[in-house]
Amino acid sequence: MATEKQIFSNLPIPPGEYLAEVLAVKGISQAELGRRMGRPAQAINEIIAGKKAITPDTALQLERALRVSASIWTALESRFQLIKARRLETKQLENDLPYLEQIPYVELTKMGFVKKSRNRIDRIRELHSFYGVSAFSNMMNVEAYEPAFRCSQKKDASPYALAAWLKGTEIQAKKIMTKPFIEKNLQACLPKIRGFILEPAEEIEQKLRNALADCGIAFVLMPHWSKTYAHGATFWLNPEKAVLVMTIRGSWADIFWFSLFHEAAHIFLHNKRAIFIDNDDKAPALIKEEKEADEFAARLLIPETEYQAFLKTTQTNEYAIREFSQHIGVTPGIVIGRLQHDGYLRQDTRLNKLRFRLAWNTQANQI
């Protein structure tokens, strides 16, 4: 065989140009090559002009007639077609440029989910790969992203931002090792997890991650991203591994604990095929499930009989709240949050000084 050389270019050069070079070197005319291959001269001319593709069958004939490997011809043809397709793709990608305003590109680059680029078309390519779609318009038809479109009804919310938040969570969760999920193990562990409420803030994150992993749940903390408005979410990676993600939006401890137990309730009370997103708006189709999760979280944090007994004292001053919260084993902020929710305290009560924020080690969640 003749020496085979690799030809690479970013320009859509038809393999016929190389064929013309080979013919010139060998002193063979197009008509002669046609006779050797049993093809009309017109067919050879169209290949050289880039009007006719080199098929595998033609490549084999060229190999026998010119002693240049068929793999060279098919590789040249494949590259030529791919470069042409990429040029066409670039024009098609321009149609997705308006979507960039709805996607948290900066947050995704900070987390390492996509590569940083100043070129907007390159950003589109990166984001398509991240979402696993060929166009953003296809996302609403992807089952994994449907809840993001269903839940993003808030005026400034973006379903594409929320879908990115869920996709990022999935990537993080796949790296977390867990035991197989067993429902009774989770239910038995929840009182233990409730006990973490009084633990030092810097120890809570790791204890939660370990305890939930033992129950078959990957616990993920994700930063709050603009246009998502999510507090938390739950979904399943497979029948033996659930995911519970919490945002650090606001970081109020009482909201965090309520949301955590709300999401945990979804895991063992509701459909494993469903994705539940806790945000500022409740999807009408899931009102029943959301109410059940709310009631479970409220009862777990503050036992109903204890709560009703406390309300009968009609004492909602700082001393009474501190005493009651100590009695049931939670922080005063959780009691205040419940009283505010039920209308017994104003949202701007001076007792808000007893509420506090949690600080999370967000670096631990970087990929």
Could you give the number of structural domains in the chain?
A: 3
Say yes or no: 51 and 85 in one domain: yes
Given a cut of 90, whether residue 230 has pLDDT beyond it is no
Q: Round to whole Å and give the CA distance between 20 and 217.
A: 63
For residue 216, is it within any domain?
yes
* Spatial distance between the Cα atoms of 194 and 187, rounded to a whole number of angstroms: 11
CATH number at residue 21: 1.10.260.40
The answer to which of 159-168, 233-242, 352-361 has the lowest mean pLDDT is 352-361
218 and 294 part of one domain: yes
Kindly state whether residue 20 falls inside one of the protein's structural domains. yes
User: How many whole angstroms separate alpha carbon 361 and alpha carbon 198?
Assistant: 18
Q: Supply the angle between the helices 15-26 and 41-48 in degrees, to the nearest 10.
A: 120
Domain membership flag for residue 319: yes
Whole domain around residue 119: which residue ranges?
Answer: 96-151
What digits encode the pLDDT tens for the residues 235-276? 999 999 999 999 876 678 998 999 999 999 999 888 888 888
pLDDT of 283 higher than 80: no
Question: Which pLDDT score, from 0 to 100, does residue 8 have?
Answer: 45
Does 40 map to a domain? yes
Q: 308 and 259: one domain? A: yes
**What pLDDT, on a 0 to 100 scale, did the predictor assign at position 250?**
62
Q: Report the distance separating Cα 335 and Cα 316, nearest Å.
A: 10
Residues 59 and 69: their CA atoms lie apart, in Å, by 8
Q: How far is CA 51 from CA 43, 59, 120, 192, in A?
A: 9, 16, 33, 72
What integer pLDDT is reported at residue 61 of this predicted model?
A: 94
The domain boundary, picked from 151, 182, 217, lies at: 151
Residues 181 and 253 in one domain: yes
Q: Is residue 58 in some structural domain?
A: yes
pTM: 0.77
Residue carrying structure tokens 């590109």: 105
The strand ranges marked E within the chain are 217-222, 230-238, 241-247, 276-279
Asked if the model's pLDDT at residue 4 lies above 70, the reply is: no
**Would the pLDDT of 133 be above 60?**
yes
- Mean pLDDT value across residues 33-41: 93
Between 258 and 282, the higher pLDDT residue: 258
Q: Look at the block and give the residue holding tokens 């997705």.
A: 96
| Shared domain check, 54 and 134 | no
Is 119 part of any domain? yes
Domain presence at residue 289: yes
Co-location of 54 and 193 in the same domain: no
Q: Which of 44, 66, 93 is the last residue of a domain?
A: 93
pLDDT recorded at residue 1 = 42
Using the predicted structure, report yes or no on whether residue 362 has a pLDDT greater than 60.
no
**231 and 339 share one domain:** yes
Angle at 94 between CA 93 and CA 100, to 5 degrees: 90
Question: In the chain, what are the helix, strand and coil shares in percent, each to the nearest 5?
Answer: 60, 10, 30
The reported pLDDT for the residue numbered 331 is 95
What tens digit of pLDDT does each residue of 5-35 get?
444 456 668 899 999 999 999 999 999 999 9
Burial of 348 (0-12, 13-18, 19+ CB in 10 A): exposed
Quick one: 295 and 184 in the same domain?
yes
**What's the mean per-residue pLDDT of the chain?**
88
Distance CA 336, CA 325 (A): 9
- For residue range 173-190, list pLDDT tens digits in order: 999 999 999 999 999 999
Instruction: Judge if 73 and 121 occupy the same domain.
Output: no
| pLDDT surpassing 50 at residue 170 | yes
Tell me if residue 57 falls in helix, strand or coil: helix
pLDDT cut 90: percent of the chain above it: 68
Q: Do 309 and 244 have their domain in common?
A: yes
On whether the CB atoms of residues 218 and 94 are closer than 8 A, the answer is no
334-346 pLDDT tens trace:
999 999 999 999 9
Please report how the helices 15-26 and 70-93 are oriented relative to each other, as an axis angle in degrees rounded to 10.
Answer: 150
pLDDT at 282 (0 to 100): 57
Q: Which of 326, 320, 325, 318 is nearest to 353 (CA)?
A: 318
Q: Is residue 10 part of a domain?
A: no
- 315 or 160: whose pLDDT is higher? 160
Residue 160 has pLDDT above 50, yes or no: yes
Same domain for 255 and 308? yes
- 242 and 174 part of one domain: yes
